[in-house]
């Protein structure tokens, strides 16, 4: 697989996984937000807390710093006695929901939806096992 694609998709997964609540406290804006945005401005159930719990992380900032410093989700999970299978399942479920919403809104075709769904688990697993050195 193309390394550039893995990095882009991995970054997208991580951002979607824990950025929802980081930007969830938005100011009132006259401009409507798109339903297919990668950042959920109304996180609802606290999906980020679910991911933090599976990773045994205390805060999003700690997780962000560890990822920024080049640790993979696998390494973070192992260091904190978390559950990597649960982390992968959470990310796959969240991305499937987003792809379903994008299909429903018409921003992707059913053919694209099927292609994304077919690759999703493999890409999330590969991303979780890959460390990205961003420094």
Q: What is the pLDDT of residues 104-130, one digit of tens each?
A: 999 999 999 999 899 999 999 998 998
Name which of 121, 10, 9 is nearest 73 in CA terms.
10
Name which of 75, 50, 74, 71 is nearest 60 in CA terms.
50
Q: What is the pLDDT of residues 49-103, one digit of tens each?
A: 888 888 888 888 888 888 888 899 999 999 989 889 999 999 999 999 999 999 9
Task: Name the helix (H) or strand (E) containing 12.
Answer: helix 3-22
């Amino acid at each position: 697989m193309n390394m550039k694609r893995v990095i882009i998709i991995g970054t997208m997964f991580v951002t979607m996984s824990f950025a929802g609540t980081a930007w969830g406290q938005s100011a009132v804006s006259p401009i409507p937000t798109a339903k297919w945005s990668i950042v959920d401005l109304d996180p609802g159930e606290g999906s980020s807390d679910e991911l933090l719990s599976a990773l045994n992380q205390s805060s999003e900032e700690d997780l962000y710093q560890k990822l920024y410093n080049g640790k993979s989700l696998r390494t973070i999970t192992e260091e904190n006695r978390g559950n990597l299978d649960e982390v992968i399942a959470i990310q796959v479920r969240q991305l499937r929901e987003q792809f379903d919403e994008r299909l429903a809104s018409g921003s992707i075709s059913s053919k694209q939806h099927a292609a994304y769904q077919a690759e999703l688990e493999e890409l999330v697993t590969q991303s979780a096992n890959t460390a990205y050195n961003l420094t």
